[in-house]
């Protein structure tokens, strides 16, 4: 049985420029869709978070208008409630890359609060990129790439082709004006070779073993892309 490591935010809030703590966590679809893809294909999933904190779902992502309707919301809720892996995470620092076939980072606004600055995640990301194993990162989770800069600002992700939640989408959910920084801006500054597709539509970018998706709609197709590479 193959194994996929899900590296997830442990944050339950996102701090705005004015100091307000906006409740958040991981985005439901970005866990559920890939989790279903991988487990249906026979892969075992392990969840890792900073300090082995049990991850929390962003309740906004389970509102019917964001979840694709009432029926889909109920399906996503059922998967989250049945996924025991979410209740028993390991610490990112204890994750051994050699134990997994692929690494996947789901988003939500949580990574903007913790994974963007997490040293253990940075070590894992550098190792995963160098390993040649599929490394998949979606939506806001590319914020974790920012943590891989060394004291001179150098990162192995510099110049890589990537995508992630765009400024237009952040404006669309109403948070761009409140954020300390925007993901698209910071990825460009890193610098990566950032690109994006139409807002809210699935858009994937692959560069070697690095596979990124722009938004929640990209998470299922991103997992399918990784599955193709693994098979």
* 3-state secondary structure (DSSP) of residue 228: helix
In this prediction, residue 208 has a pLDDT band, given cuts at 50, 70 and 90, of very high
Rounded CA-CA distance 169/223 in Å is 21
Q: What are phi and psi of 220, to 5 degrees?
A: -65, -50
pLDDT score at 156: 97
Nearest 5 degrees, angle CA 26-CA 157-CA 95?
50
Round to the nearest angstrom and report the end-to-end CA distance of the chain: 13
| Sign, CA torsion 113/118/122/125 | negative
Strand partners, 57: 26
Give residues with Cβ within 8 angstroms of 132, minimum separation 6: 208, 209
Read off the pLDDT of residues 74-123 as tens digits, 9 standing for 90 and up: 999 999 999 999 999 999 999 999 999 999 999 999 999 999 999 999 99
Rounded CA-CA distance 135/7 in Å is 11
Whether pLDDT at 1 is above 90: no
Considering the chain, what is the average pLDDT of its residues? 97
pLDDT score at 96: 97
* 3-state secondary structure (DSSP) of residue 57: strand
Read off the pLDDT of residues 9-25 as tens digits, 9 standing for 90 and up: 999 999 999 999 999 99
Alpha helix ranges (H) inside 149-216? 167-172, 183-189
For 36-42, what is the mean pLDDT? 98
Phi-psi region of 52 (alpha: psi -120 to 50; beta: other; left: phi over 0): left
pLDDT score at 150: 94
Strand partners, 212: 137, 205
Rounded CA-CA distance 175/13 in Å is 13
Whether pLDDT at 127 is above 90: yes
DSSP H or E run through 220: helix 219-230
Rounded CA-CA distance 105/167 in Å is 20
pLDDT score at 117: 97
Number of Cβ atoms within 10 Å of the Cβ of 101? 17
Q: What percent of the chain has pLDDT over 70?
A: 100
Read off the pLDDT of residues 146-178 as tens digits, 9 standing for 90 and up: 999 999 999 999 999 999 999 999 999 999 999
For 64-78, what is the mean pLDDT? 94
Number of Cβ atoms within 10 Å of the Cβ of 37? 21
Extended strands (E) in 8-101: 13-15, 21-23, 44-49, 90-91
Q: pTM value?
A: 0.97
């Amino acid at each position: 049985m193959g194994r996929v490591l899900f590296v997830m935010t442990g944050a339950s809030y996102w701090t705005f420029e004015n100091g307000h703590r906006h409740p958040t966590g991981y985005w439901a679809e970005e866990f559920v869709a890939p989790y279903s893809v991988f487990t249906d294909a026979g892969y075992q999933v392990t969840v890792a978070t900073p300090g082995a904190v049990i991850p929390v779902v962003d309740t906004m992502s389970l509102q019917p208008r964001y979840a694709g309707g009432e029926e889909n919301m109920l399906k996503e809720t059922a998967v989250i409630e049945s996924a025991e892996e979410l209740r028993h995470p390991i610490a990112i620092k204890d994750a051994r890359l050699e134990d997994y076939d692929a690494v996947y980072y789901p988003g939500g606004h949580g990574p903007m609060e913790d994974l963007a600055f997490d040293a253990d995640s940075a070590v894992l990301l550098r190792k995963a990129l160098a390993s040649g194993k599929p490394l998949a990162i979606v939506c806001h989770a590319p914020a974790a790439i920012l943590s891989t800069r060394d004291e001179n600002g150098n990162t192995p992700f510099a110049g890589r082709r990537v995508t992630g939640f765009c400024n237009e989408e952040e404006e669309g959910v109403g948070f761009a004006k409140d954020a300390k920084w925007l993901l698209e801006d910071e990825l460009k500054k890193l610098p990566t070779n950032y690109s994006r597709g139409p807002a809210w539509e699935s858009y994937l970018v692959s560069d070697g073993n690095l596979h990124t998706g722009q938004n929640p709609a990209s998470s299922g197709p991103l997992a399918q892309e990784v599955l193709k590479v693994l098979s």
